[in-house]
Chains A and B, each alone.
Chain A
Amino acid sequence: MIEAVGLTKRYGAKTAVYNLSFQVRPGAVTGFLGPNGSGKSTTMRMMLGLDQPTSGHVTIGGHPFRSLPNAPRQVGALLDAKAVHGGRSARNHLLSLAQLAGIPAARVDEVLGVVGLQDVARKRSKGFSLGMGQRLGIAAALLGDPQVLLFDEPVNGLDPEGILWVRNLMRLLASEGRTVFVSSHLMSEMALTADHLIVIGRGQLLADMSVKDFISANSADFARVRVPDAQPEQREKLTAALTEAGGQVMSEPGGALRVTGLQLPRISDLAHGADVRLWELSPHQASLEEAYMRMTQGAVDYRSTVDQKAGLQQPVPGGGYAPPLPTVPEVPQQGWYAPPPPGQNPYAAPPVAAPAVPAPAAPAAGPADLTKRDTSEDAR
């Protein structure tokens, strides 16, 4: 059980973590999510007593880490896979940590086996790949067979097999009754691994809820509507009718329309009333990744701009290029926000058979929702 109360950390004028309060319970994997620089690692360092909070406190099992009796037997942590002396062999690295905590040396060979590094145990860790380094860090965390485990981005640099291994390991550790706290910036990974989510952005708590609740609270449903490609005037007509009825319409890159605020039968009725033929009318649910991005997009510190290569381009001869004015707003073109390409959508579910109401608690709603989950499954 980890408990943070009003945790705040300032570095000079910059506030890395502000007034963070949460609990991490045993027997579950708790995901700790946030964009780069949102204060995840700082929070974990404060949990381990490496950094002193500016105000507030964090306890593990009721004690601050530094006053825990026999700390390494209670808490194991992977903070940074590169935080090893590269000139030391994997086995000697773990042996020194085991000796420091009064753990029998035989345990070193055990954890080397658990993480699959027994064959390179006597090689210097300088030559390790990122994935091998992560495994060595996980071995160090498991050394004391602790009740509480903290992992900072454990799947960084792992291959798909390694990611699956880490995922199963986390779940196994939690099922044994341990407290497992895993940070990541990948929502899709956490959706598969974690039971509970703590989301922070700019050092502040954005969400503290179960994965199931997070999905239903944050997913936005929309309908994709497609009219025959060759008839743009039909498209404009439909857009006008839908907007008039109170829907929000955005244009997708493939020519389809993304409609929110109107239910599917209503869209169908409006199209019929406007005498517009539809090629597609399908319900969609925003993926978890999308929900997470929407939640944190106000809190992203490092945002890229479009590489315009201004002034470096050859002038276009003739120069008569004018972009056509879009009649409806474009769907935002951030990579993460891109909807799945239309080709991937199962046309098998005809619009008329689609569920009528995108229910708020979508994923748990029942068999009628099976068609809706396709997008979120894709993103996972």
Chain B
Amino acid sequence: MTTPPTPQAPYQQQAQQYPQQNWAPAPTDLYTSPIPQRRATLADALASEWTKIRSVRSTMWTLGIMIVLLLGIGLLSAVAVNASDSEIGSTKVLSFGFFGVLLGSICVITLGVMTIATEYGTGMIRTTLTACPSRARVLSAKAIVFFLLTFTITTVMTTLVAALQTAILDGGTASGDDWLRATVGVGLYIATLGLLSLAVGALIRHSAGAITIMIAVVLLPLVLAMFMFSQSLADVQQALFEYSIPSQLGGLYDASVSASGPSGWEPLWIMIGVTAVAMIGAFASLESRDV
């Protein structure tokens, strides 16, 4: 068995070491592709994931609905407050963006789960991992592309809505830090929440199941806390109120459901910590489990 000299000599030489037992005619030439070879990198995986995420309609639908929700509810609440002629006084104008973002987060959760779970649902994951055996690279590329996409859109929309609300209502002037938290901070928080959904999707591998879990994560603490009347559960109730995702989101706007609990930038750090743990689990699961 003779092998013509090729650019990827190490692999070919490895093949030569195998004794050609059993086979009567040793092949004279192994096929070598005329297409130049180069190693694939994370940048290639990012390009691939960008192609994937932009070429399915569910991306357009979920992000489109989120934009409509952010803009529609943001403007509606501003107009409604303006028309009711009530005293805004101490209420910060920026916090009116909260309701739209809370609803819009469901779209981000859906998209985050679907980014990975539809690959399992359709079996596409096997094709993907055949084209790129480095599973960590695939998941990293998915996470980065999804995070940047949702962060950009959420931040642009929250900034736009905040500017419009400030223009419609003339409340107290917000500080620069308030602005930063209500735009970039909320964008980071929502994109990280989406990343958590992506991690859950990678762990559960089932779209509907993972979306249900994520919506429960968002809503259940508040709902549970409402039914905890018992005195002995008061501490638990308080914790559930304070650390539920809606009140954390409110914390970013300085308009938390409860007076105490995380405020300022704290909700973002909490969300990043939880997501990091989930992503580590997703990486470990993807590396070790059969697909």
- In the complex, whether B55 has a CB less than 8 A from a CB of chain A is yes
With A26-B31, A99-B47, A178-B31 already in contact, the answer to whether A65 and B123 are too (CB < 8 A) is: no
What is the bound-complex CA distance between A89 and B17, given in angstroms? 43
In the complex, the chain A residue whose C-beta lies closest to that of B128 is A100
Number of interface residues of A (CB under 8 A): 57
Q: How many residue pairs bridge A and B at CB < 8 Å?
A: 160
In the complex, the chain B residue whose C-beta lies closest to that of A81 is B123
What is the bound-complex CA distance between A140 and B56, given in angstroms? 19
Interface stretch (choices B8-16, B79-87, B254-262, B268-276): B8-16
With A45-B126, A83-B122 already in contact, the answer to whether A72 and B39 are too (CB < 8 A) is: no
- In the complex, whether B233 has a CB less than 8 A from a CB of chain A is no
* Residues of chain A from 167 to 191 with CB closer than 8 A to chain B in the complex: 176-178
Inter-chain contacts of A101 with B (CB < 8 A): 40, 44, 131-132
Cβ contact within 8 Å between B130 and A62: no
* Residues of chain B from 5 to 51 with CB closer than 8 A to chain A in the complex: 8, 10-12, 14-15, 17-18, 20, 22-23, 27-35, 37-41, 44-45, 47-49, 51
- In the complex, whether A49 has a CB less than 8 A from a CB of chain B is yes
Cβ contact within 8 Å between B30 and A96: no
Size category, B interface: 35 or more
Map CB proximity to B onto A263-289 as digits: 1 under 8 Å, 0 otherwise: 000000000000000000000000000
Inter-chain contacts of A95 with B (CB < 8 A): 51
- In the complex, whether A369 has a CB less than 8 A from a CB of chain B is no
In the complex, the chain A residue whose C-beta lies closest to that of B124 is A85
With A69-B8, A87-B56 already in contact, the answer to whether A92 and B51 are too (CB < 8 A) is: yes
- In the complex, whether B58 has a CB less than 8 A from a CB of chain A is yes
Inter-chain contacts of A130 with B (CB < 8 A): none
Cβ contact within 8 Å between A100 and B32: no
What is the bound-complex CA distance between A123 and B132, given in angstroms? 25
- In the complex, whether A164 has a CB less than 8 A from a CB of chain B is no
Cβ contact within 8 Å between B32 and A85: no
Inter-chain contacts of A144 with B (CB < 8 A): 33, 131
Cβ contact within 8 Å between A77 and B122: no
What is the bound-complex CA distance between A65 and B15, given in angstroms? 13
A169 to nearest B CB, angstroms? 14
Cβ contact within 8 Å between A70 and B126: no
Please tell me which one of the listed residues A26, A73, A77, A83 contacts residue B124 in the complex, with CB atoms under 8 A apart. A83
What is the bound-complex CA distance between A3 and B17, given in angstroms? 13
Cβ contact within 8 Å between A61 and B41: no
With A3-B18, A50-B130 already in contact, the answer to whether A100 and B48 are too (CB < 8 A) is: yes
- In the complex, whether B176 has a CB less than 8 A from a CB of chain A is no
- In the complex, whether A23 has a CB less than 8 A from a CB of chain B is yes
- In the complex, whether B118 has a CB less than 8 A from a CB of chain A is yes
B40 to nearest A CB, angstroms? 4
Cβ contact within 8 Å between A26 and B8: no
- In the complex, whether A84 has a CB less than 8 A from a CB of chain B is yes
Cβ contact within 8 Å between A69 and B11: yes
Interface stretch (choices A102-110, A199-207, A241-249, A349-357): A102-110
- In the complex, whether A52 has a CB less than 8 A from a CB of chain B is yes
Inter-chain contacts of A97 with B (CB < 8 A): 48, 127-128, 131
Of the candidates A1, A67, A84, A176, the one having the most CB atoms from chain B within 10 angstroms of its own CB is: A1
* Residues of chain A from 36 to 81 with CB closer than 8 A to chain B in the complex: 45, 48-52, 61-63, 65-75, 77, 79-80
- In the complex, whether A363 has a CB less than 8 A from a CB of chain B is no
Please tell me which one of the listed residues A27, A63, A79, A92 contacts residue B127 in the complex, with CB atoms under 8 A apart. A79
Please tell me which one of the listed residues A49, A51, A61, A92 contacts residue B133 in the complex, with CB atoms under 8 A apart. A49
What is the bound-complex CA distance between A66 and B129, given in angstroms? 9
B274 to nearest A CB, angstroms? 29
Cβ contact within 8 Å between B126 and A96: no
What is the bound-complex CA distance between A206 and B252, given in angstroms? 66
Map CB proximity to B onto A135-165 as digits: 1 under 8 Å, 0 otherwise: 0000010011111000000000000000000
B54 to nearest A CB, angstroms? 9
In the complex, the chain A residue whose C-beta lies closest to that of B141 is A100
With A96-B55, A100-B45 already in contact, the answer to whether A85 and B122 are too (CB < 8 A) is: yes
Map CB proximity to A onto B149-180 as digits: 1 under 8 Å, 0 otherwise: 00000000000000000000000000000000
Inter-chain contacts of B31 with A (CB < 8 A): 26, 147, 176-178
What is the bound-complex CA distance between A60 and B56, given in angstroms? 34
Please tell me which one of the listed residues B37, B44, B128 contacts residue A73 in the complex, with CB atoms under 8 A apart. B37
A245 to nearest B CB, angstroms? 41
Inter-chain contacts of B22 with A (CB < 8 A): 23
With A3-B18, A83-B127, A99-B47 already in contact, the answer to whether A70 and B290 are too (CB < 8 A) is: no
With A62-B17, A92-B55 already in contact, the answer to whether A71 and B133 are too (CB < 8 A) is: yes
- In the complex, whether A86 has a CB less than 8 A from a CB of chain B is yes
- In the complex, whether A25 has a CB less than 8 A from a CB of chain B is yes
B28 to nearest A CB, angstroms? 8
In the complex, the chain A residue whose C-beta lies closest to that of B12 is A61
B281 to nearest A CB, angstroms? 18
A208 to nearest B CB, angstroms? 8
Inter-chain contacts of A143 with B (CB < 8 A): 131
With A52-B290, A83-B124, A100-B40 already in contact, the answer to whether A72 and B56 are too (CB < 8 A) is: no
A-B contact pairs, 8 of them (CB 8 A): A48-B130, A61-B11, A62-B18, A63-B14, A79-B130, A84-B127, A88-B52, A97-B128
List 8 A-B pairs, minimum CB-CB distance, nearest first.
Answer: A83-B123, A62-B14, A145-B33, A100-B48, A27-B27, A92-B55, A102-B40, A99-B48
* Interface contacts beyond A88-B52, A100-B45, A147-B31: sample of 14 additional A-B pairs, CB < 8 Å, sorted by A: A3-B18, A25-B20, A49-B129, A50-B290, A63-B14, A65-B133, A72-B132, A92-B51, A95-B51, A97-B48, A97-B128, A99-B45, A104-B35, A147-B33
Q: Which positions in B face A, CB cutoff 8 Å?
A: 8, 10-12, 14-15, 17-18, 20, 22-23, 27-35, 37-41, 44-45, 47-49, 51-52, 55-58, 118-119, 122-124, 126-134, 138, 288, 290-291
